[in-house]
């Protein structure tokens, strides 16, 4: 399943005539495999030992490119470093206020919000996002 996701992403890169470098592949694979919504820095640290010549800037550039292609979503939270999410399906985030862990959840009926918002405001609604905050199960257990 996860290999399929990497394969799909790779074929999209090929369609866009983007060269698949080993670093690029590794960044993509990391995002698919560890669905932790990592920052560029976290990815860099995880791959550093495999690619000693790779810089944080390389990781950033690859993430930008994947974001532009729509394979990855950049999550911006004010001043904090952006987090990156490999996602092809719309989903929402539950964020732990204690450890910062982010869990995905799907809730398709929220699509209705866009229709309602369009009706109420006259906007042509393009997108929405939602985050909920709380304490993750692991932190609940420790408390
Ligand atoms: Zn937690
Ligand atoms: Zn996510």
CA of 15 to the centre of ligand 1 (A): 39
Q: Mean pLDDT of residues grouped by 10 in the chain (143 residues)?
A: 80 90 92 89 95 93 92 82 84 92 90 95 92 96 94
Helices (H), the chain: 2-15, 22-33, 40-47, 56-68, 111-121, 137-142
CA of 103 to the centre of ligand 2 (A): 7
Write out the residues surrounding ion ligand 1, Cβ under 5 A: 96, 98-99, 101, 136, 139
- Which ligand number lies closest to the CA of residue 104? 2
State the pLDDT at residue 56.
93
CA of 119 to the centre of ligand 1 (A): 38
State the pLDDT at residue 2.
61
State the pLDDT at residue 133.
96
Using alpha carbons only, give the angle 94, 1, 66 rounded to the nearest 5 degrees: 65
Measured CA to CA, the distance from residue 3 to residue 10 in angstroms comes to 10
CA of 121 to the centre of ligand 1 (A): 37
State the pLDDT at residue 1.
54
């Amino acid at each position: 399943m996860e290999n399929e996701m990497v394969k799909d992403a790779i074929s999209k890169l090929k369609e866009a005539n983007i060269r698949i470098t080993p670093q690029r592949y590794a960044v993509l694979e990391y995002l698919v495999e560890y669905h932790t919504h990592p920052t560029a820095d976290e990815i860099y640290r995880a791959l550093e030992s495999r690619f000693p010549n790779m810089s944080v800037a390389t990781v950033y550039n690859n993430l930008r490119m994947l974001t532009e292609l729509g394979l990855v979503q950049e999550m911006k939270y004010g001043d904090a470093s952006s987090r990156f999410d490999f996602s092809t399906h719309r989903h929402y985030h539950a964020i732990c206020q204690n450890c910062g862990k982010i869990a995905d959840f799907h809730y398709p009926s929220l699509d209705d919000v866009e229709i309602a918002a369009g009706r109420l405001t006259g906007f042509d609604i393009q997108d929405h996002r939602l985050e909920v905050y709380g304490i993750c199960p692991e932190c609940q257990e420790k408390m």
